[in-house]
Chain A
Amino acid sequence: MLPRLTVSTQAVTNYTAGLPENDLSIQTTVSNSDLSDLAFNGVAKVNNTHFQSLDIFPKDNSSEDEYLDKFVYPGKDLNNNQFNDKLKQFFILSSSGKPIYSLNGGDELIIGFTGLITTIISSFQHQLNEDIVVIDSGDVKISVLNRDPLILVSISKINYEMSMNQITNDYQQLKNQLHSLYNYLLCILSRPTITKSFQNRMNYDLRKMLTDVDFKNLDDMAMKLTYGLSGDSDNDDSFEFFLSQLVNGFPTSKISYTIRSKLNSLLLHHRIDEILFGLLTSNLRRIITMIKPKVHNISNSDIDFLLRIIKNNNKNIKDIETEDLWIPICLPEFNSNGFVYVYVKTFDLAKILVIDGKYYEDSQLINIVLISTNKNNFFKVKEMANKIIENIIQLELKDKLYQELSNYTINLPPTINHFVYRDLKHKDLKQCLISNNPKDCNSIIKYVYYYSNLYNSKSSTIQSLTQESGNRKLSYIKYDVITFSIIDDNYEFYAIGSGELSDLISDGLKVVKWIKSNDKRFFGNVVKFNF
């Protein structure tokens, strides 16, 4: 018998765990005009706390590196104790209990778990005719996503993952993580392939279809979605990935409206019939422009997976500019039943710019990503890409484009350390603007902790029927830093800062105002065509 087993989609959250009760104030709703009048006091200005001194994870006296190795970083070759030390587990198994993937440990270690999990799931299905979602045993949360013939499971002992999202009354973060891993499998295999594999034999080994790259990608995603850390010590964009998944917005780039429209019209002009979506991205990380049919949409998560898969593939290749890639991929939220064919060409903007007879030193990679419905038309698509590149080479503003892409720095008011702004106005693509990202593990873990708590604490926006602009909503949580969010109908703004809350809010609003006045440079970079 499992002690204290409760199925809790409605369980009371243990939200304040680890936070001093009197320091915690959340969810203050204020109307538009009141924001500047708010006054709060008594805030510590220290901002160099180490994550180990916060109550994010269990206490342990080891150094940062030892700590991360022991509790956080995945290991496949572990003994039972080492396995149990890990704060987060992910498993993917078949409905019959056959292991497919595990973040930690080998088959022998996890086989006990998988047996137990399938038993619990099937007993709930048989007796209550329901899918189990979360098993809550206080300090540990087990989440399950049942997608017959696959089962995805996570086990978390992490403080910031214990709290329920207060708008959705759900363990949103844990759920999203499992959905992401599942979508990854759909991306590379598509739903029919998975279903068919198990049709004849319930104990089919899906690992036969997966490669080393897939397992690496799953590890990488599991780590980024949980800790904001990468699976392979390259934390370059790992926190950005975490945050953009949390707020569900794709990171944007700052490019002047003229250049953006120029590039948009280039894509549109050269588009051939079978191209469904076309993107220009900077380093497969930020979307410069995108074209899409009026009648079809591509979701953030689909774009995310697509670019991530290409990016991890490109890591392999030294001379990426000499290669054209042709990748069959399933976009699960667009159509989980079939494949599209993705053409990718990368070129270095620095190599086509000559200033005073010299090339720029720092490369600035631009990727042309064209999504085709026809698997046999590689050469026609390649021709289209070549024409686009030729046109970019002739572009008078290419020098400015280079400057804009390489100088992606956002100046912050002194009170604000970090922010993410999610645009809600432009409906074609959910995008967000993230200020410069922390790269060291300590800051990343702290920020992940702060933002998770802040995000889960927000309550729903109150629709105003009388006021045109609607109400703004403010939430904040005080630690040694202050995290706060300002939300209205057009945007969500989350930030970490230190100082007086009233100063923070007025500085936050200044940032918002600045972003709004630059709206055309950040957002609305999607052009629609008749398909």
Chain B
Amino acid sequence: MSLPCPSFKVVILGDSSVGKTSLVHRFTTSEFDNQLSSTIGAAFITKELESSDKSKRINLEIWDTAGQERYKSLTPMYYRNSKVALVCYDLHNPSTFDKALYWIDQLKLNNETNSEIKIYLIGTKSDLVTSATGPPVTPTVPGVADFLEMNSGIKHFHTSAKSGEGIHDIFQDIINDIPPDFFERHYESLKDKVVLNRQFQGKSCC
């Protein structure tokens, strides 16, 4: 019997123009558009995801938020109830890392009062780096290494929405990290509902 798979909320945060929408679109459509313009407000996108070993399936619900300052007051609504936050910064623009730190602080504050959100730090636009000679070098944004050392619970990925690098890996990591009891609880509750429904139908049937 195929039951609907559980929903799993992910919120994407970060400064404007770091490539949040490009990352989501790469993941959902496997395409890249150089010409994307800024998101207004936020977009809510759903996509089914299966783990590589096919043992788990979830219905990802992704909040793609606007990075602009003027939308800041709305953001708490997006990360409320989210299980994972992808906090993005542009590997070529160190100042965007400061903004990422700001969001991480906000999420930690939220974690104290609400359920735990798992934080991923995502460096974007890794394709933009090419050294004149030799193989491409990934830039190091000052402070990132120290930050990761001090926050061992936060995973770090380098991605490129253009080449696709790292994007599949993030979402596979997310699904692999979900504890089995999350699925057990979901399917248990569904079974209860089915049983209830059957009972209900049994009574109302004429």
Contact = CB atoms under 8 A, between A and B. Distances in A.
Interface of A: 188-189, 193, 208-209, 211-213, 216, 309, 313, 316-319, 322-329, 342, 375-376, 378, 382
B37 A316 contact: yes
Interface of B: 16, 21, 25, 28-29, 31, 33, 36-47, 68-71, 73-74, 77
A328 B41 contact: yes
A56 to B, nearest CB: 32
A476 B192 CA distance: 75
Contact of B29 (A212, A319, A324, A342): A319
A209 B69 CA distance: 7
26 contacts: A188-B70, A208-B69, A212-B37, A213-B40, A216-B37, A313-B39, A316-B36, A316-B37, A316-B39, A317-B25, A318-B25, A318-B29, A318-B33, A319-B28, A322-B45, A322-B46, A323-B45, A324-B43, A325-B42, A326-B43, A326-B74, A327-B42, A375-B73, A376-B77, A378-B77, A382-B44
Given A326-B44, A327-B41, 11 more contacts: A193-B70, A212-B38, A216-B37, A309-B40, A316-B36, A316-B39, A323-B43, A326-B42, A327-B40, A328-B74, A382-B44
List of 9 A-B pairs having minimum Cβ-Cβ separation, nearest first: A327-B41, A211-B38, A324-B44, A323-B43, A213-B37, A213-B38, A326-B42, A323-B45, A376-B77
B77 A322 contact: no
A188 B39 CA distance: 12
B69 to A, nearest CB: 7
A317 B68 CA distance: 19
A36 B73 CA distance: 62
Nearest to B39: A313
Contacts of A211: 16, 37-38, 68
Contacts of B43: 317, 323-326
A382 B38 CA distance: 23
Nearest to B62: A323
A313 B70 contact: no
Contacts of B41: 325-329, 342
A309 to B, nearest CB: 7
A97 to B, nearest CB: 24
Contacts of B71: 328
Contacts of A213: 37-38, 40
Given A211-B38, A375-B77, A323 B44 contact: yes
Contacts of A188: 40, 70
Contacts of B77: 375-376, 378
Chain A CB within 10 A, most for which of B31, B38, B73: B38
Contacts of B74: 326, 328, 375
A188 B40 CA distance: 9
A523 to B, nearest CB: 31
B36 to A, nearest CB: 6
B104 to A, nearest CB: 23
A322 B38 CA distance: 18
Contacts of A324: 43-45
A320 B130 CA distance: 34
A327 to B, nearest CB: 3
Contacts of B25: 317-318
Nearest to B21: A316
A153 to B, nearest CB: 24
